[in-house]
Structure formats: C-alpha cells, structure tokens
Amino acid sequence: MIKKNLIFLVGFMGAGKSTIGLRLARDLKWNFIDLDQEIEKGEGRPIRQIFSEKGESYFRQLETKVLQGLKTRGPSVIALGGGAFIQDINRLLIHELGYSVFLDCALEVIVKRCPQDGTRPLLHSSGGLEALYTSRLPYYQKSDFRVDVSNQSPEQITKTILDHLSAGRIDDAHNINRPVDI
C-alpha cells in the first residue's frame, strides 16, 4: 500500500476538480483544499488580478509555494488549478507527497462549461482553449489514475475514485469513515 494521505485532482479548467474534490473529501472525512483559493487567500486578491498585476510566471511560483506547504496539512483532497500539473517541479512534488487522479473531460464539455467571463485569465478564445487543452493532455496523463468524467455524474465519478482508492492504493482510504482532525 502507498503510505500517502494527499489526493490531488488533476485536469483542465471546468473538468470538475473542485466539485469532485469536495465530495471526495466529505466521503473520506478528509480536508478539502482548493489550490487557487489558497493562493487568493495568501495574496489577498483574485487570480485574474494576480495574473494582470504580476503575470503568469509569478502565479506559477505561487502554485509551487503552496504545494510545498501541503506536507503539514494532514489527510487532504486537493483540487489543483488546471496548469499546476504541467510544471515538472510540481509533478515531482505531487508524486512524492500523494496520489494524483486525472479527471479526463472531453473538450466539447469543457467548452460548454467554461464561460469566457474573465474569471479564468487563460481563456481568451475557444481556439486558444483547444490548443492549450491539447498541449496539456500528455502531462495530465502522467497522473497515477485516470477517470473519464465527460458523461458521468459527480456521484458516479466520486464512487469510481473511492472504489479505486479503497482497493489499497492510498493510506487509510480503505476506511472511508475514519474521522480526522481538521
């Protein structure tokens, strides 16, 4: 069994990382951590403002910094931002600290789900979105486990992940009712 107590949800914007993460954390009685929210809390401003004022590379450094601080957080499900699994340094860290689950969502579904309302600074046009999606897939596929989320309900997706984990892939996930200190 892998002795790890952090589960990282990987995938493109709109794949459902936060929705599924909250459900998984609730069922496991683990903490839920949203990487973007942690960054916003630390910086005291929304992601789009961090991008516009400080630029993407500054934001990427923050992602790595928050990931490095997760060791001390106890059993947790972490929803990553869509770009966090692309940097080698982050993938290595995630691999060392926990177990990664790729929420594999078809591009058509992503396009429907992601409004280009400025909240996600990388969504400038649907053509750009498609290119970004295609360039990221090979990285997402390096995750430990992949779930197809395009045509499944959040309940089904969560169950698939829990069944997979309870087959002994991750420390303590076989006992999903064990309460943990938050």
- Binding residues for ligand S3P (CB under 6 A): 13, 17, 36, 47, 81-83, 120-122
Shortest Å, Cβ 60 to ligand S3P = 9
Distance in Å, CB of 17 to ligand S3P, minimum: 6
User: Residue 48 Cβ, how far from ligand S3P at the closest point, in Å?
Assistant: 7
- What residue number has its CB nearest to ligand S3P? 81
Q: How far is the CB of 6 from ligand S3P (least distance, A)?
A: 17
Residue 59 to residue 39: CA distance in whole angstroms: 8
Q: Which is nearer to ligand S3P, 117 or 181 (CB)?
A: 117
Nearer to ligand S3P, 62 or 173 (CB): 62
- Between 51 and 145, name the residue whose CB sits nearer to ligand S3P: 51
Query: Which residue's CB is nearer to ligand S3P, number 4 or number 17?
Result: 17
Q: How far apart, in whole angstroms, are the C-alpha atoms of residue 16 and residue 112?
A: 13
Q: How far is the CB of 93 from ligand S3P (least distance, A)?
A: 16
Residue 48 or 174 with smaller CB distance to ligand S3P: 48
